[in-house]
Structure 1
Amino acid sequence: MRIWIIVGVALGLVCALVLVVVTVTTVVSTQQQALSLFRMGSCNAAIGPWADATGDAAAGEGKVSQLSVDQRGIAAQIIKIGKDRQLPPLAWQIAIQAGMQESSLTNVTHGDAAGPDSRGIFQMRFTMGWGTEAQLEDPNYSINKFYDVLTKIPNWQQLRPGDAAQTVERSAFPDAYDKWEAMAAALIKTVGDVADPSGCGQAVQAAAMVLPANQAAAKAIAYAQLQLGKPYIWGGNGPVGYDCSGLVQQAYLTAGIQLPRVAADQYHAGAMLPVDQAQPGDLVFLATDKSNPATIHHVAMYLGNHQIIEAQDFGIPIHIRPFSFTEAEVVPQAVRPGV
């Protein structure tokens, strides 16, 4: 009897050990998969974002509430065709932003002074090979045509939605599509019934939160801190003084990462993530219209613990200050250089 008790206890311990190993392996695997998705860009923080703290989700829902029944019908048709073609929510978002900018999501059957030959939801030109006039006035045709062109663009899924829309439309106003980003995201969430269109769900956000500051970020932070007290100089690249983008550019250059010179370009120079998931070394941005990256006017380096280091403005030395993700002009996406 005693030997069977011993065997039973031993088997129990083995089973418990196996369960622990399986559990740990599953957790690690989940974190690795999430981190892999984050690094591959499957987490597209430019869609949305969904953090209520930014106010953008509410702004998008507000714009959706102002749409007419016909406009919502066009959006629903864009989403349905996208689903039928097994395209990801990002494609629907791009098409909705393009349609909203070009026609306010209406089926235009006449041209105007700027484009007398433009027709349909996307104001495609029948004189430029997009289709016949009758075809372009058929929403089913024009939506499919838009998707045909979009999906032939190399790496379209790595582009910001407004940039992808511009690549299809080739508008004279390339930044105009970005202002419909939050509204389009709200539509694919509600009309498209997609709870997390961005792919930045809890698992991916958790991976971003536990992702440690890499050696490059630590070096960049150390360099930036050595510049504390130096003057703000417009166009300054050091060592005497810096402007905002010059400071972060030189900081990351010492860590072996080359960033563009201008803040608005630095916004595109790394992996995007929701700003409230920022880690030390990530770049945060301010813009006059936080839904439009073309209006970015300031960049700073996040230090953690709700603090940033920045070259703020004339007459203000480089300093560390408290920072809130809910500040009025904070862009909803942070950028992680080198990822």
Structure 2
Amino acid sequence: MPGPRKEYLEAFEAPEAPDAVDADGEDVFAAGAPGAVPPPRRTRPGAGADGDHENAADGLDDDPAADGADGTEPPGKSARGVAKGGKSRTFTGVAAAAVTTVLAVVVAGQVANGPQSDNKAQSKGGPERGDGGAVSSRTDGGATPSASASPELATYGQKMAAPYPLDPKLKGSGAFTTVPGKDKAPGKGQVLRYRVDVEKGLPLDGALFAEAVHKTLNDDRSWGHGGTRTFERVSSGRPDFVITLASPGTTAVWCGKSGLDTTEDNVSCDSASTERVMINAYRWAQGARTFGDDRMHEYRQMLINHEVGHRLGHNHETCTEQGALAPVMMQQTKFLATDGVTCRPNAWPFPKGRQG
């Protein structure tokens, strides 16, 4: 920042410059002296940084208390009059101009530096928001989050394809809640009524599970193939069976009532001596290595078809042809090969649909 002009500095430093007090002891800068320039006022804190242009131009303060309680000069200076010639007045004018110039330069520097300080504080406080305060959801690469990142916006297919976290050793409350509502049987043939129960406190979407059961069982590739039967979901009255989503611990309890052990591989079961077809929530959430993460939707369809198949009287089957689709009643959660013959994962009892 440029300093005061040279001639102003010389006015103070030149040896021939007259003293501030004349030969008679008069103070040429005394307040109230005839023709004297009034003393400069002190600048207000922050002057020039808040848009106060009236005082920002000269950096002056109108508060008389800055000089003294009664508006007089502070102690040490006299209020005596002065009667000096033209030379003293000329020096007085030069000195006052120098002081005014210095103050103007200082104030101008404060004005210039003020906005820069504000900008620095803004950059440290967080990102600038040019959109009304909203922070962009884009990543550094410019990609937007997928629909699966917002479950309420995801489609049925996206939800069914996504894995969900669940403890393989979780044991829930053992109490169930029925998914409300009713889904009519859409097909022909024998009508089988079922209810959907979900264990209380289970951190999974019960409505999604109920939707999956209804869509799977009424697919033409499922047990209603060819119009032989159709499935209707109810939430009251006596159903033909209750398909139940439960924690691994609770699944083991209900399967144990029918003499079945599901703890070794954390699997599901049809508890035939009860009304419940048990779907292990861990398998529903995490799938199985035989299908992998990329076929989660199919694995869940297989779980439903396999366990309901037991309820309809179908027993376990094995793989009999290398590279063929596995029978839906094969224990595909555990393996895809039997006696050296390996099959491909399959979710349906009639995988060809209407053509089969």
TM bucket, shorter chain: under 0.3
* TM-score (ref. length: structure 1): 0.27
* TM-score (ref. length: structure 2): 0.26
